[in-house]
Amino acid sequence: MPAVIESIETLLVDLPTIRPHKLSMTTMACQTLVIVRMRHSDGIEGLGEGTTIGGLSYGPESPESIKLHIDTYLAPLLIGEPSGAINHLRARLDSQARGNAIAKSALETALLDAQGKRLGVSVATLLGGSRHVHLPVLWTLASGDTRKDIDEAEQRLNDRRHCDFKLKIGANAVDEDVRHVAAIKAALGDRAGVRVDVNQAWDEATAVRGIAALQDAGVELIEQPIPARDHDGLVRLADRFRVPLLADEAVADARDGMTLATAGFSGAVALKIAKSAGPRGALALAEVARAAGHGLYGGTMLEGTIGTAASLHAWSTLGELRWGTEMFGPLLLRDDIVTTPLDYHEFGVDLPSGPGLGLALDEDKLAHYARPA
């Protein structure tokens, strides 16, 4: 008899960061993970993670809402259903619940992890097979202090941990941000690539001035300089400058990717399983972006190890990631809740091996960091 889903448990897990992480909309000193434990009638447990940035400051889902919506609305749609019917279950969730992409991503990840364990294959194999076992990973410099950021980048280079860096800007005046970025680029020179993420902080007129200055400073990629819904403005900016623009918040799924492509966008696209409702949705967006000639970038919502591993399994199936990945989330956290952390070395990270995600929970650490019920 086919296995069925017996229970779905969600846990809020608060992990401190190694330093304050400053973005245009918030500063983080702690990351909250929503961990899903999906248990099946054949004794297999699938793990998933739903994570956002800064509570509600980044998007419409918060850790608390993700847990509430899974517990109240989404889990009842899955319990008692066949464990391996992933396409059917994804369609069931979409037909009965609008939005909630991060919550759905956590559940799809748990389904894939369980199915991989059941069949003795990796999630990457379920998604078509890995083409890479080691993926490049950049590091985000977000202390807000120029000297500290330079020192941090130098240390990462010396450790052969990262050779590309992204700076979070937009919280300060444009001229101040440009001076900060230009100083870091000048200090690192040709030894490292430098990119920026504005997180939608500028209007189009401000973006014209800021992008021109950043281009002159040698920045190689500029992420989401203006609000997500201003697709026309993003197209105009991409056409105006040599430095490529990266669409992130502007493109969540394959339909958004088609909208940007039809509008004539000529930049790159950030893939995130959280905003695409799971690994399969992110890979569907990748196909649209690739057909449109957009460079691909494996993005993060600063997930812990479970969510990061799920993304890595998806990105490993892609032929080319023109702009690499930013799957550094676990490195930003002071501790972990898995028994074997991801292996970061030689400017990247290894794809976890083993069935499913290739991970196991550290029950003591999980109990220590989980919020009381």
Per-residue pLDDT of 213-249, as tens digits, reads: 999 999 999 999 999 999 999 999 999 999 999 999 9
Query: At 13, is the secondary structure helix, strand, or coil?
Result: strand
What's the CATH superfamily of 126-350? Enolase-like C-terminal domain (3.20.20.120)
pTM score of the predicted model: 0.96
Query: At 1, is the secondary structure helix, strand, or coil?
Result: coil
Distance CA 272, CA 294 (A): 15
Right CATH for 5-120+361-369 from 3.40.50.300, 3.30.390.10, 3.40.50.1820, 3.40.50.2300: 3.30.390.10
Exposed (0-12), middle (13-18) or buried (19+): which is 98, by Cβ within 10 Å?
Answer: exposed
174 band by pLDDT with thresholds 50, 70 and 90: very high
- pLDDT recorded at residue 26: 72
Name 322's Cβ contacts closer than 8 Å, sequence gap at least 6: 268, 295, 296, 297
Name 202's Cβ contacts closer than 8 Å, sequence gap at least 6: 170, 174, 210, 225, 226
Residue whose pair of structure tokens reads 């003591």 in the numeric block? 364
Task: Give the pair of three-digit tokens for residue 193.
Answer: 């690539």
Name 209's Cβ contacts closer than 8 Å, sequence gap at least 6: 174
Distance CA 255, CA 259 (A): 6
Order across the sheet with 134-136: list the strands.
134-136, 348-350, 344-345
CB atoms inside a 10 Å sphere around CB 194: 25
- Active-site option among 166, 168, 272, 275: 168
In the chain, what are the domain boundaries?
5-120+361-369, 126-350
How far is the first Cα of the chain from the last one, in angstroms, to the nearest whole number? 34
- pLDDT recorded at residue 19: 84
Phi, psi of 284 (to 5 degrees): -65, -40
- pLDDT recorded at residue 25: 63
- pLDDT recorded at residue 142: 87
Query: At 325, is the secondary structure helix, strand, or coil?
Result: strand
Exposed (0-12), middle (13-18) or buried (19+): which is 31, by Cβ within 10 Å?
Answer: buried
Exposed (0-12), middle (13-18) or buried (19+): which is 129, by Cβ within 10 Å?
Answer: exposed
Q: What is the pLDDT of residues 296-327, one digit of tens each?
A: 999 999 999 999 999 999 999 998 999 999 99
Distance CA 93, CA 236 (A): 37
Q: What is the pLDDT of residues 258-307, one digit of tens each?
A: 999 999 999 999 999 999 999 999 999 999 999 999 999 999 999 999 99
Exposed (0-12), middle (13-18) or buried (19+): which is 354, by Cβ within 10 Å?
Answer: middle
Q: What percent of the chain has pLDDT over 70?
A: 99
Dihedral of the alpha carbons of 265, 275, 210, 183, in degrees to the nearest 10: -130
For residues 63-70, give the mean pLDDT: 98
Whether 326 is catalytic: yes
